[in-house]
Amino acid sequence: MRLSTRNQLKGVVESVDLSEAMAVVRVKVGENVFTSSITRAAAQDLGLAEGKDVYILIKSTDVQLGVDD
């Protein structure tokens, strides 16, 4: 599969927390952990489980930054 998304990071699923409709998936990439909220159906369809190799795809048209005063 080829994707237009240019920000692709390979990682490993650290945890999958399923609720009735949603799933919170934590993925470790190097020293960093990324969290994604997806539907429970999508998590199950992808077979997401601890230790599974995955790719994080980051596509954003808006990135906001903040600083302490």
Give the pLDDT confidence of 5-53 residue by residue, as tens digits: 888 999 999 999 999 999 999 999 999 999 999 999 999 999 999 999 9
Amino acid at 65: L
Four-residue CA torsion sign, 1, 34, 48, 40? negative
Domain architecture of the chain: domains with CATH: 7-58 (2.40.50.100)
pTM of the model: 0.83
pLDDT of residue 56: 94
Hey, what are 38's tokens? Answer: 């997806």
pLDDT of res. 10: 96
